[in-house]
Structure 1
């Protein structure tokens, strides 16, 4: 299953990604708004500006799952997100590893972005979820992609508000 989500921000790519990766106040506020319990966040930064590369690993306690899916995960609920950001390629690739059945689920996607003639930033997410689980694979794919869509809507709203309230210095 595939999906595409597009958002437009009133900022530069450099500002958006600097805030996204490195502003601790932003991160705390975002996680709180999304009701996300982050167990661990690791960042590796190489280069600056157009040559910036960031590798991020985020471990988060998953929110409550619907009944049938809850039985699949049976008590283990830490989701791992692994991403690699490359400013020169204008790409942030993300793999999401779900607990217990992760080897049966290919889940993640890629952000790309461009600066519009208006100076705004268009960020596009192209996500996928392929669950190779008989009987429930399609339901799991729809649920996981739906969670990404909800999370990205919350993330977008919060990030727009944050950028307006905290202009670049």
Structure 2
């Protein structure tokens, strides 16, 4: 199931937003603000490319019906991002801690400058291969992703104001 989220940010240039988006200080504060436990596994930057792997554990339980299907009341995942510096396009993928062979999510994050603002667009595809209920679980996961990105956008706007470049 495909999804797309867009958010605009003022008072920051595209290059400043790129630095902010990949800043560890910012990401640690952001995850705390949106109730995600985050562990940096690796961060490699060489030859104009960045590859970062983090383990993420949302600090919330999933609804009981989905928990019964997945066999867990929480879903943790490992996120891998790959980025060519200055390209404005991040490729991301996640590996779930449960039913690893049945859950696939991947997509892109793009940054662009539009009318003096930075537009961040997140596109992805979440696939849950569980007969009869996969679509329901996909909808739950996407709703959670969209809520998290909305809260992240609010936090980011506040950060930009309180941490001018």
* Shorter-chain TM-score range: 0.7 to 0.9
TM-superposed deviation, 1:23: 4.2
User: What secondary structure does 2:101 align onto?
Assistant: helix
Task: String of CA shifts for 1:44-95, please: whole Å, max 9, x gaps.
Answer: 1125xxxx42111110223311112223143774311111112343210111
TM-superposed deviation, 1:136: 1.3
Paired residues, number: 162
TM-score by length of 2: 0.88
* Aligned residue in 2 for 1:20: 21
With 69-78 and 89-98 compared, the bigger mean Cα shift is at 69-78
- Inter-partner Cα distance in structure 2 for 1:78 and 1:54: 23
Superposed CA RMSD in Å reads 1.8
* Aligned residue in 2 for 1:7: 7
* Aligned residue in 2 for 1:60: 56
- Say which of 83, 86, 89 aligns to 2:87: 89
Unaligned residue ranges in structure 2 (runs of 5+): none
- Say which of 110, 116, 121 aligns to 1:112: 110
TM-score by length of 1: 0.86
Residues 73 and 99 in structure 1, CA contact (< 8 A), matched pair in contact too: no
Residues 80 and 97 in structure 1, CA contact (< 8 A), matched pair in contact too: yes
* Aligned residue in 2 for 1:121: 118
Unaligned residue ranges in structure 1 (runs of 5+): none
